Amino acid sequence: MERIVTVNGREYKWPLKPLAVICIDGSEPEYIEKAVQAGLMPFTAQLLNTGIDLRVDCVIPSFTNPNNVSIVTGCPPSIHGICGNFFYDLQSESEVMMNDPKYMHVPTIFSAFEKEGAKILVVTAKDKLRKLLGHGLTFGSGGSICVSAEKADVANLEENGCEDLLNLTGLPLPNVYSADLSEFVFASGLALFENAKPDLIYLSTTDYIQHKFAPGTEGANRFYHMMDGYWSLLSANGADLVLTADHGMSGKHDSKGNPDVIYLQDSLDTWLGAGVARVILPITDPYVAHHGALGSFATIYIPDELEIMSTISKLKDLNGIVEVLGKKEACERFDLPGDRIGDIVIISEGSKVFGINPDHHDFSGLDVPLRSHGGLSEQVVPLISSKTFKAEPTKGIKLRNFDAFHLGLNLT
């Protein structure tokens, strides 16, 4: 009889071969398309011919944590609760980081499979994601493995289920702002795959390269060529592959190369009084150098309910806005958790980003014109499988990036 694991209301079939889902951070579809066209991804080119090559929507906000958590739980933020890097907690009246698993409302696909006897391998680039992805897993000798490239030097059996990663990969500890951080994800993922024989593998990179280099440029192509080599080795070692992205990436600058920023707090202060409204930019995290905390999605808290409608209509009149929604409409449209977003959700057009006010943002880390994400313009991502569909996909059913495990385990 077929073994089925049920988690978060969805059923997943037990993998016949190890399944590796790879989340390429910030992988706008053009990155792979152009690197393949340039002949720099020979393995992927072959895989696109024989497997599945789809374009699907990620979850909004098109940020890293909401999408990674969606992929590993198989459900949207309204169910798992992670809708950004932080939210404003009305009870404690403070801005709260959401990178602790206590903010996750549901278990991951990994912990459900582990309970049924599966071995899990998770490698993430930045440590900020590690605890969310590894939530509910058991480590120690022979247990699952969940480790970040950023903290590879301190990986240990008790906390990560593995140790000695620098020796195992033969690579030095990578800098957190580098392409090497993502290469380390693949090098350690491959080595641990060979050593530990996991059933499910999840490798999640960082978008350092995508923030700096547009699709088809030398810097981007070199990165995708590197990944192609590792995917080929994973496949040669017996893994089925599903490739997707947490979000896309767009240029967010004017013709002079300066960040094209809509400063929301300035307008709100003029309309409502200084500091009355609170703007939350949920892209903000401890690693802001490459995006200056500037993204195309913001949420706004307005203390006086009576001011919400008029503020929405004023925001709609600002230049460069594609969507302004009240909380209820935003939650319905984007499957967001109502207790963790503000009274208003606002999304900018593709080339623009939101800021608080000019003093709030540090552009000194931006050594190239700003590229960022967060909005509808970065919603389309690749969903690629090394296997083909078992049966013709049902018409009208739209897959999302958080169907990656569903695609790999059930549909192919």
For residue 325, which phi and psi values (nearest 5 degrees)?
A: -130, 145
Strands 10-13 and 4-7: antiparallel
How far does CA 347 lie from the centroid of its chain? Answer: 18
What minimum distance in Å lies between the beta carbon of 246 and Zn ion?
Answer: 4
Binding footprint of Zn ion on the chain (CB under 5 A):
25-26, 64, 207, 246
Q: Which pairs with CB-CB distance under 8 Å and at least 24 residues apart come from 326-334?
A: 331/78, 334/59, 334/60, 334/61, 334/77
For residues 215, 386, 230 and 181, what is the CA-based torsion angle, rounded to 10 degrees?
A: 60
Q: Shortest distance, CB of residue 185 to Zn ion, whole angstroms?
A: 13
DSSP secondary structure letters along 105-126: -S--HHHHHHHTT--EEEEESS
Q: Which is nearer to Zn ion, 18 or 282 (CB)?
A: 282
Q: Which pair of structure tokens corresponds to residue 247?
A: 């979000």
In the bound state with Zn ion, the residue whose beta carbon lies nearer, of 127 and 246, is 246
Per-residue b or e along 369-398, where b marks 16 or more CB atoms closer than 10 Å to that residue's CB: bbbbbbbbbbbbbbbbbbbeeeeeeeeeee
Q: How far apart are CA 214 and CA 35, in angstroms?
A: 11
Rounded to whole angstroms, how far apart are CA atoms 112 and 260? 44
Q: Least separation, in Å, of the C-beta of 210 and Zn ion? A: 8
For Zn ion, the closer of residues 56 and 409 by Cβ is 56
Question: Which residue, 211 or 352, is less far from Zn ion as judged by CB?
Answer: 211
- For residue 267, which of 331, 322, 326, 321 has the smallest C-alpha distance? 321
Q: Where are the alpha helices (H) located in 278-366, listed in sequence order?
A: 308-316, 327-334
Count of helix runs (H) and strand runs (E) in the chain: 15, 19
**25/225 Cα distance (integer angstroms):** 15
Nearer to Zn ion, 183 or 246 (CB): 246
The minimum distance between CB 283 and Zn ion, in angstroms, equals 9
d(CA 147, CA 289) in angstroms, rounded, equals 23
Closest separation in Å from C-beta 207 to Zn ion: 5
26 vs 259, beta carbon nearer Zn ion: 26
> Residue 102 corresponds to which amino acid?
K
Residue 18 or 26 having the CB closest to Zn ion: 26
- Closest contact distance (angstroms) between CB of 298 and Zn ion is 17
- Of 283, 318, 322, 317, nearest to 299 (Cα)? 283
Residue 273, burial from CB neighbour count under 10 angstroms (0-12, 13-18, 19+): exposed
Q: How many CA atoms, within 13 angstroms, populate the side-chain half-sphere of residue 4?
A: 8
Nearer to Zn ion (CB atom), residue 26 or residue 76: 26
Query: Smaller CB distance to Zn ion: residue 12 or 86?
Result: 86
Which one, 211 or 361, has the nearer CB to Zn ion? Answer: 211
Measured at CB, which residue is nearest to Zn ion? 64
CB of 63 to Zn ion, least distance (A): 6
